[in-house]
C-alpha cells in the first residue's frame, strides 16, 4: 500500500483519530475534547469545544518560539515601485495595535468587519486584527462595484469598514472612497465607522465617520488575543451562487487552522522558515488561505504581490519574484500563465532569473488545461501540480500530494482526493458512477476540517445549495469523473457559475442586472470559452415589444450596467440583441445548447425545443457578430 493510500484510508476510516493527531500540531489555549460532531443538517463540525486564536497560532506563537526576526510578509508592489519586509514581531505588534484601534471603535468578539483593500500588508494586518479580537472579517475583492459591496454590507452587517484610499491597476489608480461611500449610501445597514489607509498615490477625503488608519494606530492600545471556540466563525467570504445574491461562506476557526497547517506539509511541502508565494488576491479564498493564514500558521514567509503576471513590467514578473525571494512553492491560476505565454511564448524571460529555489508549481482556480500544463512542464524542471478546490472547502479537495507521496501527473487531472475528502461521482439517480463515467462530484460526510460551516444567516440556503441534492453528501457543483487509476478529472460546473480568469461569477446574477433594464423583455447570459480567461460571459437579449431604440446603444448600455452593478471583474463585454431564444416547450432557455454553438461545437436540435427556427436565428446572430467560435459550430 502506498503512503498516500494508507494515509487516505486512515483519514476516511478513522477521521477522529486522524484529525485529533493533526490538531495537536497547532497551539490551542484549550485542547479540544470533542473532535467531530454534527450539526442538525448532519454536516460535520470539528473541535467545537477547543479554544484558540488563529492570530496567536500564526503570529504570537512564532514570536514566542524565536521567529520574531524572520520575515512574515514580503511585500512587492511594482505598481507603486515599493517593497517592504514585515517581520513576525512587527506583524504581531502592528496587528495588536490595529486590533486595539478596532476595539476602540466598538468592535468586539462576534462583530463583523468588512475589509475592502488592495494587496498591501495592512490588508493582512486588518484580517489578523479581527481574528485577534474574535471578530468576523468579510473581505470584498477590490474589483467589485459599489452595488456588490452594498449587498455584502447588508448581509454581513459590519460595525466597521476598513479600506484603503485607492487600489492600483496597470493603467489607472482606482479611488476606493467613492466606491465605499456609494455602497454605504445604497445599503440599508450603516456601519458605525470607516477606517481608511491613506496611500500616497491618492489620498481620500475623510468624512465624519471616517478615521485615518495612521492616526488610529498612533493612539491605539495593543489588544491581546481573545480565546474563541474551535467552531466560532473566523470569516465570511461571499461567493457567487446561482442566484443574484452571493452566498456568505462561513469558515470556522479551529478546523480551518488544523486543515491549513496539514496542507502546507502534505500538499505544498513547505517547512517553517521557507518562502511561500501565492499570486492571488486577499479578496479570494486562495488569498485567505494561502497568502494570509496558512503560510504564517506554518511559520513560513508569505509573499504579498501587488502586481499582475504581465505588464508590471513584463511577463517575467513571477520569475523575478521567485528568484528574488527564494520562493520554494508557488501557486497561481492557469489564466496567469496563459497571459504570460501569450506575451513570452518561448518563456525566454525565464533565462534572466535563477529559480533553482523553486521546488513545485501549484495551479488552481480553474482547470489546468492540457496545453498550459504542457507548456509549463516543458519549461520548468519542477512538478507542475493542478489541484482542485473551491471557496466552500477552503483548501484543496484533490491534489498531487507533493509533500506526502508525489505521483505521476496526468494532464487535465487534479490527481487524487486529499486525505479527509471522500470524493465520489454520482449519476442522476445518486448511484456511484463507473470509472470514466461523468457525473456530479460530491463529498461524503463527514467533510474534513476547514470546510464551510454554513451560509451566513441562511441555514436554508446552505441546505438547498449543498446538502439537499444527495442526502449524506455535499454537492460541489462540479462535474467530472474518476479514471481507471482513480485519478479525478474535474470538467466544469454543473450550474450557472462561470469561471473568468480564475474568478468565480454567476451568470444568473448578470441576467438579473441585464433583465432589470427597462428595454429588456428577456435575456440569457452564458459563459463561453476564452483562450486567455478560460471563460467570458456573453449576453443574448430580446428587447420589449415596441422597442424602437438603437440596438447598439442598448448593448452598450447593458455592458455599462453590468460593469456598474457587478464590477469590471465580470468582463461583460459582449451582448447581442436577438429576436428569439431557443427554449423548451416548458419555457426553459436552452443555455447549454447556446454555449455549444458559441464554443463552435456540433449540436443537435433537441426534441423538446419549442421553436426549432429560433436556434438557427441565434446561431446566425452569433456568427455575424463573431461570438466565440460560433462560425465553426455545425448543426447535425
Ligand atoms: N480593483 C479594481 N479593478 C480590478 C481589480 C481590482 N482589484 N482587479 C481587476 N480589475 C479590473 C481590471 O482592471 C479589468 O478592467 P478593464 O475591463 O477596465 O480592463 C477587469 O477588472 C478585468 O480584470 P482581469 O480579469 O484581471 O483582466 P486583465 O485583462 O486586467 O488581466 C490576467 C488578465 C490574466 C492577467 C488577470 O486576470 C490575472 O492576473 N489573473 C489571475 C487570476 C487569479 O489570480 N485568480 C485568483 C484565483 S487563484
Ligand atoms: P472558487 O470558489 O472561486 O475558488 O471557484 C471554485 C470553482 O473553480 C470550482 O468549483 C471549480 O469549478 C473551479 N476550479 C477551481 N480549481 C479547479 C481545478 N484545479 N480544476 C478544475 N476546476 C477548478
- CATH number, domain with residue 557: 3.30.300.30
Q: Which residue has the cell 468578539?
A: 109
Tell whether 570 and 475 lie within a shared domain: no
- Beta strands 193-197 and 160-164 are parallel
Is residue 193 domain-shared with residue 70, that is, in the same domain? yes
Q: Is residue 506 part of a domain?
A: yes
Reported pTM: 0.95
Using CA atoms, how far apart are residues 51 and 231, in angstroms rounded to an integer?
Answer: 9
**pLDDT value for 587:** 87
- Assess if residue 335 is contained within a domain: no
One domain for residues 435 and 544: no
Q: What is the pLDDT of residue 241?
A: 77
Determine the pLDDT at residue 378.
97
Task: Look at the chain and report how many structural domains it folds into.
Answer: 2
Judge whether 211 lies within some domain: yes
pLDDT at position 1: 74
One domain, residues 471 and 505: no
Last residue of a domain, one of 422, 448, 480: 480
**Contact call for residues 385 and 402 (beta carbons, < 8 A):** yes
What is the model's pLDDT at position 272? 98
Which protein residue's CA is at the shortest distance from atom 15 of ligand 2?
A: 365
Enclosing domain of residue 126: 2-307+387-480
Q: Are residues 469 and 506 in the same domain?
A: no
Using the atom order of ligand 1, give the atom closest to the CA of residue 141.
7
Specify the CATH number for the domain of residue 272: 3.40.50.12780
Report yes or no on 375 lying in a domain: no
Residue 341 is assigned to a structural domain of this protein:
no
Q: Is the CB of 452 under 6 A from ligand 2?
A: no
Residue 569 CA to ligand 1 center (angstroms) comes to 6
Question: Is residue 317 included in any domain, yes or no?
Answer: no
Which residue, of 449, 480, 511, is where some domain finishes? 480
Rounded-to-10 torsion of CA 336, 337, 338, 341: 130
Q: Is 16 in the same domain as 82?
A: yes
C-alpha cell at 568: 469590471
Grid coordinates of 447: 467533510
- Whether residue 519 contacts residue 544, with contact meaning beta carbons closer than 8 Å, is answered with yes
On whether the CB atoms of residues 128 and 58 are closer than 8 A, the answer is: yes
Q: Are residues 413 and 516 in the same domain?
A: no
With CA atoms as reference, report the closest residue to 148 among 233, 234, 239: 239
Q: What is the pLDDT of residue 2?
A: 85
What residue owns the CA closest to ligand 1's atom 37? 501
511 and 451 share one domain: no
Mean pLDDT of successive 10-residue stretches along the chain, which has 636 residues: 94 98 98 97 96 98 98 98 98 98 98 98 98 98 94 97 96 95 98 98 96 98 98 96 85 98 98 98 97 98 98 98 98 97 97 98 94 97 97 98 96 97 96 96 98 96 96 96 97 91 92 95 96 96 93 97 96 96 90 94 89 92 95 92
Which atom of ligand 1 is closest in space to residue 532's alpha carbon? Answer: 34
Q: By C-alpha distance, which of 385, 407, 320, 365 is closest to 498?
A: 365
Whether residues 181 and 289 share a domain: the answer is yes
Alpha-carbon dihedral angle through residues 564, 570, 571, 576, given to the nearest 10 degrees? -80
Query: Is residue 255 in some structural domain?
Result: yes
User: Are 122 and 304 in contact, with CB atoms under 8 Å apart?
Assistant: no
Q: How many other β-carbons are positioned within 10 Å of the β-carbon of residue 357? A: 16
Tell whether 170 and 200 lie within a shared domain.
Answer: yes
Q: Cβ(504) to ligand 2 under 6 A?
A: yes
**83 and 193 part of one domain:** yes
User: By three-state DSSP, how is residue 471 classified?
Assistant: coil
Q: Give the domain-ending residue among 480, 510, 540.
A: 480
What whole-number distance in Å separates Cα of residue 79 and Cα of residue 277?
18
Residue 179 placed within a domain: yes
Q: What is the pLDDT of residue 243?
A: 72
Residues 131 and 267 in one domain: yes
The protein residue with its alpha carbon nearest to ligand 1, atom 24, reads: 569
Amino acid at each position: 500500500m502506498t503512503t498516500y493510500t494508507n494515509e487516505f484510508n486512515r483519514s476516511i476510516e478513522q477521521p477522529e483519530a486522524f484529525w485529533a493527531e493533526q490538531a495537536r500540531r497547532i497551539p490551542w489555549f484549550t485542547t479540544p475534547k470533542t473532535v467531530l460532531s454534527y450539526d442538525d443538517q448532519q454536516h460535520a463540525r470539528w473541535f467545537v469545544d477547543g479554544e484558540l486564536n488563529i492570530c496567536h497560532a500564526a503570529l504570537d506563537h512564532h514570536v514566542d518560539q524565536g521567529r520574531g526576526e524572520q520575515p512574515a510578509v514580503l511585500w512587492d508592489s511594482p505598481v507603486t515601485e515599493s517593497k517592504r519586509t514585515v517581520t513576525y514581531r512587527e506583524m504581531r505588534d502592528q496587528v495588536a495595535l490595529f486590533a486595539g484601534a478596532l476595539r476602540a471603535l466598538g468592535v468586539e468578539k462576534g462583530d463583523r468587519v468588512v475589509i475592502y483593500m488592495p494587496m498591501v500588508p495592512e490588508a493582512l494586518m486588518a484580517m489578523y486584527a479581527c481574528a485577534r479580537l474574535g471578530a468576523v472579517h468579510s473581505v470584498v475583492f477590490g474589483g467589485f462595484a459599489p452595488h456588490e459591496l452594498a449587498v455584502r454590507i447588508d448581509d454581513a452587517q459590519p460595525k466597521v469598514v476598513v479600506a484603503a484610499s485607492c487600489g492600483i491597476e496597470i493603467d489607472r489608480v482606482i479611488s476606493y472612497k467613492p466606491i465605499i461611500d456609494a455602497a454605504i449610501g445604497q445599503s440599508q445597514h450603516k456601519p458605525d465607522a470607516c477606517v481608511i489607509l491613506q496611500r500616497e498615490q491618492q489620498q481620500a477625503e475623510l468624512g465624519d465617520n471616517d478615521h485615518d488608519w495612521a492616526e488610529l494606530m498612533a493612539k491605539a492600545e495593543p489588544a491581546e488575543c481573545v480565546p474563541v471556540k474551535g467552531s466560532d466563525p473566523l470569516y465570511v467570504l461571499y461567493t457567487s451562487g446561482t442566484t443574484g445574491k452571493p452566498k456568505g461562506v462561513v469558515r470556522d476557526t479551529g478546523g480551518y487552522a488544523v486543515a491549513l497547517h496539514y496542507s502546507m506539509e502534505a500538499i505544498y511541502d513547505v517547512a517553517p522558515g521557507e518562502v511561500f508565494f501565492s499570486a492571488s488576491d486577499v479578496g479570494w479564498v486562495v488569498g485567505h488561505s494561502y497568502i494570509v493564514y496558512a503560510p504564517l500558521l506554518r511559520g513560513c514567509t508569505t509573499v504579498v504581490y501587488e502586481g499582475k503576471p504581465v505588464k508590471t513590467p513584463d511577463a517575467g514578473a513571477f520569475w523575478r519574484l521567485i528568484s528574488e525571494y527564494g520562493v520554494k512553492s508557488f501557486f497561481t491560476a492557469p489564466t496567469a500563465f496563459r497571459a504570460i505565454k501569450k506575451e513570452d511564448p518561448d518563456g525566454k524571460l525565464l533565462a534572466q532569473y535563477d529559480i533553482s529555489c523553486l521546488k513545485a508549481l501549484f495551479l488552481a482556480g480553474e482547470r489546468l488545461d492540457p496545453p498550459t500544463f504542457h507548456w509549463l512542464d516543458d519549461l520548468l524542471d519542477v512538478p507542475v501540480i493542478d489541484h482542485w478546490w473551491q471557496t466552500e472547502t477552503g483548501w484543496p479537495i484533490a491534489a498531487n500530494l507533493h509533500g506526502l507521496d508525489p505521483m505521476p501527473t496526468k494532464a487535465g487531472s487534479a490527481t487524487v482526493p486529499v486525505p479527509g475528502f471522500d470524493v465520489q461521482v454520482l449519476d442522476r439517480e445518486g448511484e456511484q458512477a463507473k470509472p470514466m463515467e461523468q457525473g456530479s462530484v460530491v463529498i461524503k460526510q463527514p467533510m474534513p476540517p476547514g470546510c464551510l460551516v454554513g451560509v451566513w444567516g441562511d441555514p436554508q440556503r446552505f441546505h438547498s445549495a449543498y446538502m439537499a441534492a444527495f442526502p449524506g453528501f455535499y454537492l460541489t457543483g462540479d462535474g467530472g469523473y474518476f479514471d481507471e487509476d482513480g485519478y479525478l478529472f474535474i470538467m466544469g460546473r454543473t450550474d450557472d457559475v462561470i469561471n473568468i480568469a480564475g474568478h468565480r461569477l454567476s451568470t444568473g446574477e448578470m441576467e438579473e442586472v441585464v433583465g432589470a433594464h427597462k428595454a429588456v423583455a428577456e435575456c440569457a447570459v452564458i459563459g463561453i470559452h476564452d483562450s486567455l480567461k478560460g471563460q467570458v460571459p456573453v449576453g443574448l437579449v430580446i428587447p420589449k415589444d415596441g422597442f424602437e431604440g438603437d440596438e447598439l446603444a442598448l448593448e452598450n448600455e447593458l455592458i455599462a450596467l453590468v460593469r456598474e452593478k457587478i464590477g469590471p471583474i465580470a468582463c461583460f463585454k459582449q451582448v447581442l440583441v436577438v429576436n428569439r431564444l431557443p427554449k423548451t416547450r416548458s419555457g426553459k432557455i436552452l443555455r447549454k445548447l447556446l454555449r455549444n454553438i458559441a464554443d463552435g461545437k456540433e449540436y443537435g436540435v433537441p426534441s423538446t425545443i419549442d421553436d426549432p427556427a429560433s436556434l438557427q436565428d441565434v446561431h446566425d446572430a452569433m456568427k455575424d457578430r463573431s461570438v466565440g467560435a460560433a462560425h465553426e459550430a455545425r448543426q447535425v
